[in-house]
Amino acid sequence: MLTSQHKIPGLILNNHTFELPLDYANPGKTISVFAREVIAPDKEDANQPYLVFFQGGPGSGSPRPMGASGWIKRALKDYRVLLLDQRGTGLSAPLTAQTLRAMPNAQAQADYIMHFRADNIVRDAEAIRAQLGGGKPWSILGQSYGGFCSLRYLSAAPEGLKEVFITGGVPSLTRAAEEIYRATYPRVIAKNAEYYARYPEDIALVQELVRHLQVNEVMLPSGGRLTAQRFLQLGLQFGMSDGYEAIHYLLEEAWVTGADGKREINWNFLVHFEHLQSFETNPIYCLLQDGCYTQKAAGRWAADRVLKEFPEFALDRKDRVLFTGEMVFAWQFDTYPQLKPLKAAAELLAQTDAWPMLYDVEKLKQNRVPIAAAVYYDDMYVHREFQDETAQIVPNMKLWHTNEYEHNGLRADGEKILGRLIGMVRGEI
C-alpha cells in the first residue's frame, strides 16, 4: 500500500497505491488507484484525522504539492491531507486514447469508461478508508466536480464521513443535462459581455481570427488543426479570476508579419494556445461531461442540442463573436487528434441510458453530516440557483454565498476559504 515517501521543505509526502475492483458489482479485474498523503513535518507522529481532497474536472488528477501553501497549509493544521487521483486520472489507471488502444473495439472502450464516474470514485474512497483510515469516518473537501463526488458520497456512504467541505460544486440532484446547459449558457454570454467590455479592442481581433480560421487551414504545433470552434473554446477560461487576462494577453500576440510581408498567425501564439487546453490530456472531461449529470437517461450531446437555442453564439454575427464555456461538443472528436480514436466510444456513451443513479434524494433528505459550501455568486460552471435548490433539499448544509471569488477561489485564496468553511462546520461562523 505505502509505495514510497518523500520529504520536501514543509511537507512529508507518503505515496500509496491500492489495487481496487474496476467493477464493484462484479469484482475480478482490478485497477491501481493512487493517493498521496500529505503531512506537516512536526505532526508526523500525531494522530491527526484525514481530509480527503476530491479534485475538479472530471478527468483531472489531484494537485502535486510544491510546498505548504494555500488550502493545504490551512488543512495541515488539523488534518493529514489525502490527495486522491480519481480513477482514470494521474497515476490511477490513467484513461487516455493511448491506454484505451488495448481494448478490442469501441463497445469495450465505452463499457470500460462507464466505470469512471463519481459513483465508483466514491467506492474507491470507501475501500481506501477501510485500508488506510482503519474504518474511521473522515472529512472530505470537494472542488467543483469534487463537490459532485461529495454529494454522491453523502448519498451512498454517509457513515464514512465526519464533515464535508465544498467549493464551487454543489450539484443539482435531479436536473437533466439539458437543464444544466440551458442555465449555464446565459452565464457564458454574460462573461463574454464582461470580457469585451474590459477589452473592447478584442472584438475586432476575435472576428478577424474566426474569419481567418474558417477559410484557412492552420495547424497547431502538435499536429491538430485550429478551427474557429476550437479557438472559441478558450472561453472555458472566463470562469476563472484571471481568465480574461489570460485570453487577452494571448490574443495580443496572435499575429506576426511573415517573410512575404503578410500577416499570419504567430507560431508562439499557437504553442501557448495549446497549453490552455487539456481536452486531449484529460479525455474523461469530454467523454463523461454529460455523464456527470445523467441518471437513467442518455445525454445525446446535450450541449450541442441546447446551443441551437442560443443564436448569440453564431459564428457569423456582425457585432461580436462569442466564446463558449465548459461545454463539450460532438465535433471535438473530429478535431482533436487524441480524441479522434475515441469518437465511436464517445458516441456510444452519448446514446446510452444505462447510467446508474448518482443521488438518492430521499436519503439525502435525512442527512446528518455537517456540510459547509462556498457558492460563488457569478460561477460560470455550476449554476448558483441549482446549488441553492440542492441546499433546500439536503439538511445540515450551510452555504456561504460570495462574489469575492470566481470558480478558482480555492486555488486563488485557499487558505482563507478553507479556514472559513472549517469555522462554519464548527459553529464558529
Residues marked active site are found at: 144, 379, 407
- Proportion of the chain in helix, strand, coil states, percent, rounded to 5: 40, 15, 40
Please choose, from the candidates 7, 23, 166, the residue with its C-alpha nearest in 3D space to the C-alpha of residue 87: 23
Q: Dihedrals φ, ψ of 30, to 5°?
A: -120, 160
Half-sphere exposure of 55 (CA within 13 A, CB side): 21
Quickly count: other Cβ atoms within 10 Å of residue 19's Cβ.
Answer: 10
Phi-psi region of 296 (alpha: psi -120 to 50; beta: other; left: phi over 0): left
Contact, 228 vs 345, CB < 8 A? no
Give the integer Cα–Cα distance in Å for 181 and 189: 12
- Cα distances from 69 to residues 57, 102, 228, 393, in angstroms, run 22, 40, 39, 35
Give the integer Cα–Cα distance in Å for 81 and 35: 10
Please choose, from the candidates 132, 133, 69, the residue with its C-alpha nearest in 3D space to the C-alpha of residue 410: 69
Contact, 154 vs 164, CB < 8 A? yes
229-253 residues labelled b (16+ CB within 10 A) or e (exposed) = bbbbbbbbbbbbbebbeebeebbee
SS3 140: strand
DSSP code at position 3 = E
Torsion of CA 205, 233, 244, 258, to 10 degrees: -40
Question: What are 271's three cell numbers?
Answer: 504553442
The residue with cell 477559410 is 215
